[in-house]
Structure 1
Amino acid sequence: MSDLTVDSTARAMAAAIAAREISARELLELHLTRIGERNPELNALVSLDPERARAAAEEADRVTAAGGELPPLHGLPFAFKDTHDVAGWRTTFGSPLLADNVPETDELLVERVRAAGVTVLGRSNVPEFAAGSHTFNRVFGVTRNPVDPSRSAGGSSGGAACALATGMVPLADGSDMGGSLRNPASFCGVVGLRPSLGRVPEWPLYNQWETTSVGGPMARSVGDLALLLSVLAGPDPRAPQALGDPGGTFAPPLAPVPLTGLRVAVSRDLGGAFEVDDRVAAVVRSAAEAIESAGAQVEDAHPDLSLADDTFRTLRAWHLNAKLGETHRANPGALKETLAANIEAGEPLTGADIARAYAQRTSLSETMRRFFDREHGGYDVLVLPVSQVPPFPVEQEYPADINGRPQPDYLAWMRSAYFITVTGCPALSLPAGHTPEGLPVGIQVVAPHGADRRLLSIATTLEEVLRP
């Protein structure tokens, strides 16, 4: 066996399998051992099937032995988010209503990852129907923070982020509407990318024109994130809004972008648009100082996203009502209270409300285009908090107050993430520091729509600058 561990990079693991320095079966056993050590306490992975995974790893080893070019994720253990349909695997969406659901077909994201050669071993835990940024449900229970199990791992990709951070899996998929890739990445100290609209196509969807939610990658490093994005990205005829760049465009290695001459806008709260925990603000401030010391031109600046709150809340309520309204009406009391309230908020919406939200979203997109227009004094990237709070106690569904100031509802603490959602821009959560209690805090790095590759290259440099 090689000297690989479960904490090695995904790129190193894939290279070692291709070079026959380690077998897929050996690599799987390393991960199953770590799962046995950490998962009973943290509850990051669910629906585990070690024997099925061992059979798949042995098949991967037969493919390796046959020679020929191997797919990019060949032999890597993988656990799909439990909101993505995986043929033949229990897929519950964290809901008792779907506790025994086993899809017959893969959705597109799963198709692509499976075709890239992974060994599926289970699913990553989620909140009910991926609603809310704290991972708990009545099927599998709560997922705990890998640094402090008394705290939340975030959500909705909380199981994925926790499993990554602890070496249970080398890569993870996720999805993001209001921060479901970014918030758990920040809480668990890993990297998560909400890609540009159209970068990672999805199919099947009840509405191909609803674009607040996107799929995306998570990893322990920016380079590994790029590896998974290279598998997820690229056009597909079933997804009419998919961007045309082929997935290989994002394959590592990434060329780091020198910070000298880079214009970086930094904002604690987008001009007072939301409350930010003082401990999170301190990490953002320290990161900005480090980025400036490394040569970037850092300015306290932000775009005007005052339309974002109404835009996101309107579209979220409309989307949840359209997707889950019938389920809610047919099963009164079956959904958690906060999700039911969001679904019901969509019932009185009119065509004029939806038209207003889309007009505002168009305005927000134009605001960001001008903000990032370098030819007219704009910025290369915007840096702000990922989450307005550090990981909160696991018993809470959401933080009721920030800095002692009450928050109006269970969405208010996620504004720093969902304000960016409705701009359509790519946004990356990058580990940047810790609170005095040692809890992970990430910064959110935002780039112009379509500039995912450049964002990853800039993040590669920032990763080195911010590394402890």
Structure 2
Amino acid sequence: MDPILSNDATDLRRLMTTGALSAEDLMAATLDQIATVNGTANAIVSLRPEDALLDEARACDQTPKDRPLSGLPIAVKDLANVAGLPTSMGSPLFAGQVAHASDIMVQRMQDAGAIVIGKTNTPEFGLGSHTYNPVHGATQNAILPGMSAGGSSGGAAVALALNMVSIADGSDMMGSLRNPAGWNGVYGMRPTWGLVPSEPVGDTFLHQLSTNGPMARTPRDLALLLSVQSGADPRQPHGLPRFELEQNLEVDIKGARIGWLADWGGAYLMEEGVINHCEAELTRFGVAGAIIEPVAPPMSAAEIWEAWTTLRSWSVASGLETLYAQEKTRAHLKPAAIWEIERGRKLSAMEVQRASVIRSNWFKAAHELFQSYDALVLPSAQCWPFPIDWDWPKEIAGQSMDTYHRWMEVVIPVSLIGLPSVAVPLRPKPRPMGLQLFGPRGSDLKLLRLAQIWHQAL
């Protein structure tokens, strides 16, 4: 590997701004690295032709590199549209269909100077935390060959971990920016819901579970990319102002209070060794001066699960119902998608209302908890990376999983109420795992600063 690729995006930008590195040389090194490692990893798909990418990099070198992402190669998650590239969503129904325009988030990255080199692999329709699909195949864990990369932003996480890109976008409904970050030794950030806009298509009021966000190898690169992705879209009702890039993430956290939720009082089944590894690594914040305290479950996990599965199925059904309605297209949907759609179609308005009331009660309970703690912490997954040829783990700690996503239940307290969260990696011994740091709405900067302390210690 060319040593230049070990730099993070912030340093690469500095080198290009000072003339110590050209966009063309960076692109050439990037393409060489992809040629070396991607055949096995299968993280980047729909790679653009080499000549076109080098020409675009040379053109970048002929202009001032004064934009936030000028000259940086990036591959976009294959759920988002990039003008001129296929958006398969991992589904045979959309394989080969070329996007006519870029999505809002993608266009912002392009306007900031990033050069889109291709797409990153994802599960079919982003459903499930294991990156495999019938169009592009499975993505292999960057640390453990033959194991799952997690998902649904698994391709992005592996591309980062193997130095194929320095920054990556992703999306997160049920841990998709957090689980693969922990499993591949990088950082993933689910921003405060509304900070990074979705597309102004269909309903823009009701569904508040999923968001786009950044992935990177350092917290300062998360901040860099978030500053580009974020900012309200005037066509949507719940947008938030742009995240202003904060150069100084290094602050003293002495006296900060961090609450450790562990396995939610035993409600979240954990594979042997996960909790012990997380607790041993969590002491890193204590060394930096923070106060770490165990926290009792603030609300029933069963209630949170009920609200989540109701609102998720309702959301998935609303997005995929037209494909289900036609027998010809329904035959190409994977079982998890059909299960979600059929559950969502059966829901009554009052069942959705009950789920939203539970969500509201959890938001109030979390607010009260944040009066005492600067951040809360959970593991980023309930099990270690599993074999790549599995669909999903059928049991944890000897207990059967009753849905395709129950093994990722640990991420839903954050997702259900739109809280910001940064996933930080642990040392991959015995196996790769991560922690979710999360806080109240709008605490994105505070979480990035905690992540920076973690990164320095790591």
Q: Which residue of structure 1 aligns with residue 283 of structure 2?
A: 289
Distance 2:14 2:265 in 1: 46
Greater shift, 29-38 or 52-61, is seen at 52-61
Distance 1:254 1:399 in 2: 41
1:339 to 313, 337, 340: 337
Aligned partner of residue 172 in structure 1, secondary structure: strand
Q: Does the 8 A contact of 1:305 with 1:364 survive in 2?
A: no
Letter aligned with residue 184 of structure 1: P
Following superposition, the deviation at residue 419 of structure 1 comes to 2.5
Following superposition, the deviation at residue 4 of structure 1 comes to 5.5
Q: How many residues align?
A: 451
Following superposition, the deviation at residue 181 of structure 1 comes to 0.6
Distance 1:459 1:440 in 2: 17
1:370 to 368, 371, 378: 368
Following superposition, the deviation at residue 305 of structure 1 comes to 4.9
Q: Which residue of structure 2 aligns with residue 304 of structure 1?
A: 299
Following superposition, the deviation at residue 52 of structure 1 comes to 2.3
1:442 to 419, 434, 440: 434
Greater shift, 41-50 or 276-285, is seen at 276-285
Following superposition, the deviation at residue 389 of structure 1 comes to 0.9
Q: Which residue of structure 2 aligns with residue 231 of structure 1?
A: 228
Distance 2:345 2:232 in 1: 34
Distance 1:202 1:342 in 2: 21
Query: Does 1:34 pair with 2:39?
Result: no
Q: Does the 8 A contact of 2:9 with 2:166 survive in 1?
A: yes
Structure 2 residue ranges without an equivalent (≥5): none
State percent identity of aligned pairs: 37
Following superposition, the deviation at residue 462 of structure 1 comes to 2.2
Q: 4+ residue stretches of structure 1 with deviation over 3 A?
A: none
Distance 1:205 1:460 in 2: 36
1:274 to 268, 276, 301: 268
Q: Which residue of structure 2 aligns with residue 12 of structure 1?
A: 11
Query: Does 1:455 pair with 2:447?
Result: yes
Letter aligned with residue 342 of structure 2: E
Say what the alpha-carbon RMSD is for the aligned residues: 1.4
2:399 to 399, 402, 405: 405
Aligned partner of residue 434 in structure 1, secondary structure: coil
Aligned partner of residue 428 in structure 1, secondary structure: strand
Q: Does the 8 A contact of 2:189 with 2:213 survive in 1?
A: yes
Q: Does the 8 A contact of 2:249 with 2:448 survive in 1?
A: no
Q: Does the 8 A contact of 1:372 with 1:447 survive in 2?
A: yes
Q: Deviations over 1:112-165 (max 9, x none)?
A: 100110111110001001111100111110000011221000111000000000
Aligned partner of residue 347 in structure 1, secondary structure: helix
TM-score, normalised with respect to structure 2: 0.96
Q: Does the 8 A contact of 1:192 with 1:430 survive in 2?
A: yes
Distance 1:405 1:177 in 2: 25
Query: Does 1:160 pair with 2:156?
Result: yes
Q: Does the 8 A contact of 2:183 with 2:425 survive in 1?
A: no
Q: Does the 8 A contact of 1:144 with 1:150 survive in 2?
A: yes
Query: Does 1:317 pair with 2:308?
Result: no
Aligned partner of residue 281 in structure 2, secondary structure: helix
Following superposition, the deviation at residue 221 of structure 1 comes to 0.7
Q: Which residue of structure 1 aligns with residue 54 of structure 2?
A: 54
Distance 1:229 1:350 in 2: 37
TM-score, normalised with respect to structure 1: 0.94
Q: Does the 8 A contact of 1:328 with 1:340 survive in 2?
A: yes
Q: Which residue of structure 1 aligns with residue 353 of structure 2?
A: 355
Query: Does 1:104 pair with 2:100?
Result: yes
Distance 2:276 2:428 in 1: 9
Distance 2:191 2:343 in 1: 28
